[in-house]
């Protein structure tokens, strides 16, 4: 039975007609020169829009310093705002709603994305294990990052705030702060990547400080009812992970709950969250179930969902909505397929990142 999954949901300032959400999905198909979304991007999102449905736009760097991948759309220049306005207009023409995910990649960026080839920034000088992607789509080992000075952190907060303002100018219904998947905000949260001894390091409260300051700045600029946040408490993406995550995330989610943001978007630990490989871990706890009792507004759950377990997650109340990622790539009419129990078209991983229409706007409708 899909009844509850397909019922309306109040999500902050907007009313959704159903609870099947498109997750933020990096696709690396913005304009190579300026990171501005193009007509092809507008077509892609419009294909997946439904009346009253929610699409969360792909992670978008809040500054040049925040950029860590080639051809990703940003939200820090006039050209990028204009490009995203083209996208939101196309989605709104289909009756859809759209949020934008705000992103800083931190230490897992690469110097080729930075002005004058400067090294990526991080809370501390801790090199990630794994491979970065250069501005030319080449895989190379992660570089040694530079630790942000304490006087620079206010600038990062200001970048997130301005990006949220820019997103509203571009026609989005709201914004989602990216606090997951081993990027800068999670790097501040985790003890393995945050070795600071100042007000942003050491204790759980100090390591949570940047995320909370950004949440306050963004909500102050666009409204808490138009601000969401994404977290991955048991995540291992991009060489992240906390040995004992529950004390940290119990504190963080509790503090965020007091701010009554529009929603909490959780990545379930069974999924890697990066999209680079099929990584599913069995016998993991449900983060949605853990935090449901303390979270006062909507919870969006994500991570390797099928139609069957999405129906179950909403029916039993642990989640208010479910975000699909890879299946939304290969099924532009996913909402209809869920509603009518139609088979899903398999996705083609080689076309996830970069390129043109192939594997992007050419997947079939029913």
pLDDT in tens, 58-70: 999 999 999 999 9
pLDDT at position 282 over 70: no
The mean per-residue pLDDT over the stretch 2-6 comes to 90
Output the pLDDT for position 235.
Answer: 87
pLDDT at position 280 over 70: no
Distance (Å, rounded) from C-alpha 278 to C-alpha 281? 10
pLDDT at position 154 over 70: yes
Helix (H) or strand (E) holding 87: helix 78-93
The mean per-residue pLDDT over the stretch 123-130 comes to 97
Return the SS3 of 96. Answer: coil
C-alpha closest to that of 163 among 245, 251, 76: 76
Percent of the residues in the chain that have a pLDDT greater than 90, as a whole number: 92
Helix (H) or strand (E) holding 16: strand 14-16
The mean per-residue pLDDT over the stretch 327-352 comes to 97
Distance (Å, rounded) from C-alpha 238 to C-alpha 233? 14
Beta-bridge mates of residue 102? 60, 177
Return the SS3 of 3. Answer: coil
Output the pLDDT for position 1.
Answer: 56
- Taken in order 148, 248, 324, 137, is the CA torsion positive or negative? positive
Active site residue 44: no
Catalytic pick among 45, 142, 183, 200: 183
Output the pLDDT for position 281.
Answer: 54
Pair 93, 171: CB distance under 8 Å: no
Output the pLDDT for position 271.
Answer: 64
pLDDT band at 39 (very low <50, low <70, confident <90, very high): very high
Name the more confident of 135 and 3: 135
Ordered by where they begin, the domains of the chain are 4-351 (3.20.20.70)
Lowest mean pLDDT among 87-96, 108-117, 162-171, 293-302: 108-117
Which pTM value belongs to this model? 0.96
pLDDT band at 273 (very low <50, low <70, confident <90, very high): very low
Q: What does the mean pLDDT of the chain come to?
A: 95
Output the pLDDT for position 279.
Answer: 55
Helices (H), 175-223: 184-189, 204-222
Output the pLDDT for position 272.
Answer: 53
Q: What is the dihedral of CA 296, 62, 47, 13, to 10 degrees?
A: 30
pLDDT band at 189 (very low <50, low <70, confident <90, very high): very high
Helix (H) or strand (E) holding 141: strand 139-141
């Amino acid at each position: 039975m899909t009844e509850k999954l397909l019922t309306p949901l109040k999500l902050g300032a907007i009313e959704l007609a159903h609870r099947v959400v498109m997750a933020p999905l990096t696709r690396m198909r913005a304009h190579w020169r300026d990171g501005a979304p193009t007509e092809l991007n507008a077509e892609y999102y419009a294909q997946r829009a439904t009346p009253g449905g929610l699409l969360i736009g792909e992670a978008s760097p809040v500054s040049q310093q925040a950029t860590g991948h080639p051809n990703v759309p940003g939200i820090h220049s006039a050209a990028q705002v204009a490009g995203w306005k083209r996208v939101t207009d196309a989605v709104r023409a289909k009756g859809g709603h759209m949020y934008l995910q705000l992103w800083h990649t931190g230490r897992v960026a690469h110097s080729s994305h930075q002005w004058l080839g400067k090294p990526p920034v991080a809370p501390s000088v801790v090199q990630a294990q794994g491979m970065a992607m250069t501005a030319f789509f080449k895989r190379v080992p992660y570089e040694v990052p530079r630790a942000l000075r304490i006087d620079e952190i206010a600038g990062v907060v200001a970048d997130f705030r301005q990006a949220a303002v820019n997103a509203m100018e571009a026609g989005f219904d709201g914004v989602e702060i990216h606090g997951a998947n081993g990027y800068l905000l999670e790097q501040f949260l985790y003890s393995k990547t945050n070795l600071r001894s100042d007000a942003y390091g050491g204790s759980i409260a100090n390591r949570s400080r940047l995320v909370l300051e950004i949440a306050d700045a963004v909500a102050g600029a666009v409204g808490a009812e138009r601000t969401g946040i994404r977290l991955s408490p048991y995540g291992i993406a991009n060489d992240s992970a906390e040995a004992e995550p529950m004390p940290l995330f119990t504190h963080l989610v509790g503090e965020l709950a007091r701010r009554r943001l529009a929603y909490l978007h959780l990545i379930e630990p069974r999924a890697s969250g990066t999209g680079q490989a099929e990584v599913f871990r069995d016998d993991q706890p449900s983060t949605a179930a853990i935090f449901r009792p303390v979270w006062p507004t909507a919870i969006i759950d994500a991570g390797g969902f099928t139609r069957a377990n999405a129906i179950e997650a909403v029916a039993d109340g642990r989640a208010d909505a479910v975000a699909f990622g890879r299946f939304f790539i290969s099924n532009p009419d996913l909402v209809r397929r869920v509603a009518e129990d139609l088979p899903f078209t398999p996705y083609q991983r080689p076309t996830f990142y970069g390129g043109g229409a192939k594997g992007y706007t050419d997947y079939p409708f029913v």
